[in-house]
Amino acid sequence: MFSTRATRFWSSVSVLTAKVRSSCPARRPSARHCLTTSKPVRTTFEKTTLPNGLRVISERMPALHSVSVGFWVEAGSRYESPSLGGISHFLEHMLFRGTETRSAQDIAREIDSVGGVLNAFTDREFSCYYAKVLGDKLPQAIDILSDLLLHSRLDPVDIEKERRVILQELHMVEDSPDDLIHDLHSESIWRGHPLGQSVIGRQKTVHSIGRDELLTLLSDNYCGRNLIVCAAGDVDHQDLVSRVEKAFHDLPAGSHVTRELAPDYRSELSIVSKDLEQVHLCLGCRGVSQVETDRYAMNLLNSVLGAGMSSRLFQTIREQHGLAYSIYSYLNNHSDAGALTVYCGTAAEDVPQLLSMTLKELRTLKNELISDDQLERTKEQLKGGLLLSLESTDNRMSRLAKSEIFLGKHYDLSALIEKIDMVTKDDMLQLASRLFTDENLNLQMIGSLDPAAYPADCLTLS
């Protein structure tokens, strides 16, 4: 239901930062002063597991009048067969087409009538259906969301309508090189593994998905052990549990999804020649997973490199040399694999210089310690961004769900801040030295380029 770009940005929310990646780095106020208080930063959450394995997790935010509630299903493109690529995304669309008692228009009217927001998105390792409403309207939101998951009609006529919608979405991505390049990059670094599959699918696979396949996915994956209901804001945990239990008491426990072995990271240089005004590129290297202890140092490395207006890439490539409007780095982390990716859009004639500068910054990070001042500023940036993002009920709810999915446990904010503070310059240097190697580099480009001008040996950190 999200657009492709919005889906990608929402789904890149990390367990650590719990915030949405933006293609245009925003100016942040300094967090230095707000974090020097001796008052501990505490968060409290409650978790209940129902008899069928469904997990209910909530965090009360007493000062707020709103609540965000999400129904998270461990069903995504990672768990799809190649012949049915995109089926999780297809099902997500179909659940909004109407239930046994509500038409699609009824669903829209009901959520609008309480001033709420209702949406969904699919990622590689989960699908999420969520609503944001005033606290006293939470019962209506739960009723609508549970109805979508439990009683959708999956009408054959609607399936054909939605197939056309998804095919148009695919065409939109193909016509948007700044979107397409990210999909090509993920496909390249994890080629041959389900993590490399497009979340939307391909035209051939979208055409092959029918009602029987959708019903099979619904019965196999939308079960108690794969479902997590999270809420943050003006919510009472016991009331939430009671309402969820009433709605899902007949839902079978089913079997928890199983993952294939972690993918191998692939090094590759690939160019798609296309007549465009700009060249769009993703330069990436191996990263860390959501569960590795190095993830705190990885977040700091990413911040130094390209996350924000003070980052090295933004300052060098945009501010000093004017080679690009959009330049940033981000982490593409999953349960057992990860990547750090630099995205940029620039003129074709500027690509060699831009690549040289980007590789130079990676080379510097793997060979030289950052200064004490930059380490301190980057930690404050990361901690400040974390705390500011958690003023949002959406981000709090998302953080609860992702911590449960990836870690199976939840950290108090004070503990997260402590882990960030514990990272040293040596930790960052050792991690960069291990990951930023020629064998881990992957470059994908789309634009008016001659592939012969970019031999494989042009991509080196030596």
245: annotated active-site residue? no
Q: CA-to-CA distance for 200 and 203, rounded, in angstroms? A: 9
Q: CA-to-CA distance for 224 and 244, rounded, in angstroms? A: 11
> Sign of the CA dihedral 19, 23, 29, 32?
positive
Question: Could you tell me the CA-to-CA distances from 132 to 12, 63, 210, 229, 349 in Å, in that order?
Answer: 20, 16, 31, 13, 46
248: amino acid identity, one letter = F
CA 6 to chain centroid, in Å, comes to 10
Q: CA-to-CA distance for 119 and 434, rounded, in angstroms? A: 40
How many Cα atoms are found within 13 Å in the side-chain-facing hemisphere of 415? Answer: 6
Three-point CA angle 393, 395, 396, nearest 5°: 60
Catalytic residue among 92, 361, 380, 404: 92
Of 239, 235, 243, which is closest to residue 61 (Cα–Cα)? 235
Three-point CA angle 104, 110, 116, nearest 5°: 115
Of 405, 265, 230, which is closest to residue 335 (Cα–Cα)? 405
Q: CA-to-CA distance for 37 and 98, rounded, in angstroms? A: 50
Q: CA-to-CA distance for 324 and 317, rounded, in angstroms? A: 7
Q: Are the CB atoms for 143 and 160 separated by under 8 Å?
A: no
β-pair type (268-273, 442-447): parallel
Catalytic residues: 92
